[in-house]
A and B are shown apart, each in its own frame.
Chain A
Amino acid sequence: MHIPDGYLGPITYGSLWGGIIPVWIYASKKIKEIFKASHVPLLALSSAFSFVIMMFNVPIPGGTTGHATGATLIAILIGPWAATLALSISLIIQAFLFGDGGITAIGANCFNIAFAGAIGGYGIYRLISGARGKGQGVKTELRTPNSELRTRQLIGAGIGAYVSINFAALFAAIELGIQPILHTGLDGRPLYSPFPLSITIPSIMIGNLLIFGIIEAIVTILVLIYLRKSHPELIRG
């Protein structure tokens, strides 16, 4: 899902840079508004978690690999906007230092995995969990709810996580799949990613729908259960 350099033409990667910069600015404003100085380490740890969880490649036997992103989990913990920023920082370091995702594609990868992933996953979580609070990031901390609400939150988190990674993957598949339409050389051959939507969408989505989405949901639920036991002050509505 980390699109490398060269797969997206300038129209697409340019637009997605144009899309993600205002998101980063808004996310920074949100953090400024709701974070306390004591919340800053949580932003750093969230970034670290997303980095490390993406190193756990999960194989499809005989096929490709994928991994969880932690977007929904982090959005539940620190709010979707701070999560967008935390994941973006990870993705930028992955691109520059480790060639995991391209430099021109930073806008695209942050848009898909960080922004669409965090906002999409968090939206579903809120819808299902019935969590209260005004979605103001770390400001609203959850006061141990009754057990029915707790279960709903875990279900919401799991489904949110499953949808989140598939949402991010679908964005990537569409961006890749429109390249042959947008950019073709004089010889009629594609200039960038060569596969049409009819190939990119099934190829990318099957792994995410069947395996990586479920891994994302399991990771999210397990970490939430762990944090609820050992760090209840971190879990918020």
Chain B
Amino acid sequence: MRNVKFKKLLIGIIILIVLTPIGLILPEKFKSGGAWGEWSADEIEKILGYVPEGLKRLSKLWSSPITDYTFSGWESGVKGYIGYILSGIIGIALVIGISFLIGKFLVRKNGNT
């Protein structure tokens, strides 16, 4: 397998990243909410009328820097789409970097050629 081939696959991934706003636009068009069972504590309160104690406690455990692939202040419209693409670029750069390092570490000196 030569690197040239991987470049072509990487271009495929980049095209997909640019298209990701479809994943925002379609649910908006069809007036769909989020995924079932992935509500925030606030949304749970609206559904149930209260927030379960443990859920309240654990849901505050971690606050992610780019929650829901959205940059604060860039929530809606075109800015939302651009933020979504940027999130994709950041996330994918990270997963490529990390899996590459883990992969390199695992195959070091394993003698497979």
Contact = CB atoms under 8 A, between A and B. Distances in A.
Interface of A: 1-7, 9, 28, 31-49, 51-53, 55-67, 85-86, 89-90, 93-100, 102-104, 172, 176, 183, 185, 189-195, 200, 203-204, 207, 230-231, 233-234
Contacts, number: 228
Contact of B37 (A37, A42, A176, A183): A176
A224 to B, nearest CB: 13
4 tightest Cβ-Cβ pairs between the two chains A and B: A99-B64, A59-B32, A40-B103, A6-B55
B96 A47 contact: yes
A61 B30 contact: yes
A127 B48 CA distance: 44
Given A192-B52, A193-B37, A44 B99 contact: yes
15 contacts: A3-B37, A41-B3, A44-B95, A44-B103, A59-B32, A96-B64, A97-B64, A97-B65, A102-B58, A176-B37, A185-B53, A194-B48, A194-B55, A203-B37, A233-B1
B14 to A, nearest CB: 9
B91 A65 contact: no
Interface string B97-112: 1111011101100101
B23 A4 contact: no
A63 B102 contact: no
A59 B19 CA distance: 16
Given A59-B27, A230-B8, A64 B106 contact: no
B1 A52 contact: no
A59 B102 contact: no
Contact of A98 (B31, B44, B53, B66): B66
Nearest to B57: A6
B56 interface: yes
A59 B26 contact: yes
Interface string B54-73: 11111101111111110000
Nearest to B87: A98
Given A5-B59, A51-B95, A183-B54, A64 B23 contact: no
